[in-house]
Amino acid sequence: MDVHKATYSLCALDKATGALLAETQCASEPKLVEKFINGLAEELDPDTKFVTGYEAGILGYSLYHSLKNLGIDCIILAPTTMYSSAKNKMVKNDSMDARMIAKNLAANTYCAVYVPDEADNEVKEFIRLRKMMKKDLIRVKQQIGMFLLRQGLKCSASKWTLAYMDWLKKVPLSPVLRSVLDEMTLQKSELEEKIARYDQTIETFANSERYTKPIHALTSMKGFKTTTAMTIHIEIADFKRFKTAKAFMSYVGLNPSEHSSGDHTIKGGDFEAR
């Protein structure tokens, strides 16, 4: 299935022969996927097993859960692990993409995306909300810095310390420019208050019966605070899904990288967390 917000492109293949059984495009309604499968089932052996799959993307896990609730097996495929022919790269449309996904599903040339349960996914969305606010905070701080630079203003105190914030309140500016700076510092304060409030909620999650044991284990290690521990645990959930330590390190971005040739040496960060 090549899935989008408004439409699904569906393609059915016979796993044993690779033969194209049927293909269609429909509105983005899981019930229409069920209807497509039921139509095929009427023409095939009663013991035929149907498995659906789609690339990880904007729909997240919603379609997966909807199909599961309809009793339809579903797999989310990791795009970077899928085989794609040169033809697919030259000619790309929804129908071709659906065929490519069906071929990968039939040939097992993909890695399945881990699907968290409902409780983990809810916490994951909350942590994403905090991450969004954190990015907004960084952006506002950058805007304040650029504003001061444009006005030719410098402060000897370290950025964002109490002394620095006090200087921002007192630095001489025209009424209009003062209102600009005050609005930006107000945004900064509001975002910091939100993040602090979100951190308290994450602490509550961490202290619940479901998470207290794994989070305590992670926070017992140096450098791990509750929010970091919760983020890692929610993203990973089951360490057993990684076959090797190297696979786990690659997932969290702990593998060192290097791209060197001749006189040119480029080394990546050894610890670039994703």
Residues 239, 31: Cα–Cα separation, whole Å: 34
For the cut 50, the answer to whether the pLDDT of residue 274 exceeds it is no
Q: Mind listing the pLDDT tens digit for each residue in 195-241?
A: 999 999 999 999 999 999 999 998 998 888 999 999 989 988 777 77
Q: Closest Cα partner for 12 from 62, 53, 73, 67?
A: 53
Cα 52 to chain centroid distance, Å, stands at 22
With left for phi above 0 and alpha for psi between -120 and 50, is residue 123 left, alpha or beta? alpha
Q: What is the pLDDT of residue 87?
A: 57
DSSP element (H, E) containing 3: strand 2-3
What's residue 265's pLDDT? Answer: 66
Identify the pLDDT of residue 272. 40
Domain ranges of the chain: 2-107, 118-237, 246-274
Average pLDDT over residues 238-251: 77
CA dist 31 and 70 (Å) reads 8
With a cut of 80, say whether residue 258 has pLDDT above it. no
Residue 41: count of CB within 10 angstroms of its CB: 12
Q: Is the entire prediction scored with pTM above 0.85?
A: no
Give the per-residue pLDDT at 106. 94
CATH dotted code for 2-107: 3.30.420
Question: Which contacts qualify for 192-200: CB closer than 8 Å, 24 or more apart?
Answer: 192/137, 194/133, 195/130, 195/133, 195/134, 195/137, 198/126, 198/129, 198/130, 198/133, 199/130, 199/226, 199/227
- For residues 73 and 17, is the Cβ–Cβ distance under 8 A? no
For residue 223, the model assigns a pLDDT of 83
For residues 241 and 239, give the distance between their C-alpha atoms in angstroms, rounded to a whole number.
Answer: 5
Mean pLDDT of the chain: 90
Q: Among 27-36, 48-57, 81-90, 239-248, whose mean pLDDT is lowest?
A: 81-90
